[in-house]
């Protein structure tokens, strides 16, 4: 549980035969980050998520990137989702919903977040072939969806991400992460007009 005004923080460690992750966050931070996943483009995306969601985030991850970045990238997403869920606590006083439309040059992405307790992801609009593109020579475009799936299913979020336009894969991916960050920032924020849990069921 997290009482009103209490710091919403979490630390999660996860070790498997494929990766070793130590992640801590503060949902009521300023957007500072210290991220080392050994996957440079992913570091860039997580830094953008922290900055634009106003979440302080520290990540140390090592994995079998000599095989593929897939395990490390997905496992960090799993741990990030678990930490978000833990830090949200009982979700009293939150806004719950967030919606953001974010451009990056020619790219445009929209994200809608519901801190619902019901994991679901709808992810559409990436151009044909995006999933095969190596961004920065190492981060496959298909991993963008994997990250959002891992976060949504482990944090208990309903997430809709829609790419409305774009040509450059780097810009498309970054617009998606920034849109998700801005929508999550709004959803996790404390609303002084909300008393208790924002659900007619009394729980999220």
Two structure tokens written together for 95: 């806004």
Would 158 be classed as within a structural domain? yes
CATH number of the domain where residue 25 is located: 3.30.230.40
Name every residue whose Cβ is closer than 8 Å to that of residue 106 and which is 6 or more positions away in sequence. Answer: 165, 166, 167, 168, 171
pLDDT in tens, 37-51: 999 999 999 999 999
Percent of the chain with pLDDT over 90: 91
CA distances from 146 to 24, 54, 199 (A): 21, 23, 29
DSSP of 68-137: -SHHHHHHHHHHHHHHHHHHHTT-TTB--EEEEEEEETTEEEEEEEE--SS-EEEEE-PPTTGGG-EETT
CA 126 to chain centre: 18
Q: Does any domain span residue 43? A: yes
Residue 47 is assigned to a structural domain of this protein: yes
What span, in angstroms and rounded, lies between the C-alpha atoms of 61 and 76?
Answer: 7
Strand order through the sheet with 19-26: 9-15, 19-26, 56-63, 33-36
* Containing structural domain, residue 48: 9-188
Segment 22-47 mean pLDDT: 98
Digit-coded pLDDT (tens) for 113-122: 999 999 999 9
Asked if the structure places residue 4 within a domain, the reply is no
d(CA 101, CA 110): 4
What local confidence, expressed as pLDDT, does residue 3 receive?
54
The pLDDT-based confidence of 137 (bands split at 50, 70, 90) is confident
Residue 178 falls inside a structural domain: yes
SS3 189: coil
pLDDT > 70 fraction of the chain, expressed in percent and rounded:
98
- Please write the tens of the pLDDT for every residue from 64-97: 999 999 999 999 999 999 999 999 999 999 999 9
Nearest Cα neighbor of 50 from 188, 186, 177 is: 177
How confident is the model at residue 28, as a pLDDT?
97
In a domain, 173, yes or no: yes
Does the pLDDT value for residue 133 go beyond 60? yes
CB atoms within 10 A of CB 15: 11
- Return the higher-pLDDT residue of 20 and 1: 20
**Domains in the chain: how many in total?**
1
pLDDT at 203: 86
Q: Is residue 195 part of a domain?
A: no
Q: Tell whether 200 is covered by a domain.
A: no
The model's confidence at residue 6, banded by pLDDT at 50, 70 and 90, is: confident
Residue 60 in this model has a pLDDT that exceeds 60: yes
Two tokens, residue 158: 């309903």
């Amino acid at each position: 549980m997290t009482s009103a005004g209490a710091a919403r923080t979490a630390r999660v460690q996860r070790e498997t035969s494929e990766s070793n992750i130590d992640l801590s966050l503060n949902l009521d931070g300023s957007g500072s980050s210290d991220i080392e996943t050994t996957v440079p483009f992913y570091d860039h995306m997580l830094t953008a998520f922290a900055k634009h969601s106003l979440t302080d985030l520290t990540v140390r991850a090592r994995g079998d990137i000599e095989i593929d970045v897939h395990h490390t990238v997905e496992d960090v997403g799993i741990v990030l989702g678990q930490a978000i869920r833990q830090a949200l606590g009982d979700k009293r006083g939150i806004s719950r919903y967030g919606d953001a439309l974010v451009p990056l040059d020619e790219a445009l992405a929209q994200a809608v977040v519901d801190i619902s307790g019901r994991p679901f992801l709808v992810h559409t609009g990436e151009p044909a072939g995006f999933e095969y593109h190596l961004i920065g020579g190492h981060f496959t475009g298909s991993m963008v969806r994997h990250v959002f799936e891992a976060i949504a299913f482990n944090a208990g979020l309903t997430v809709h991400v829609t790419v409305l336009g774009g040509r450059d894969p780097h810009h498309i991916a970054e617009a998606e992460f920034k849109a998700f960050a801005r929508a999550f920032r709004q959803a996790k924020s404390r609303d002084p007009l909300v008393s208790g849990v924002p659900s007619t069921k009394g729980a999220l």
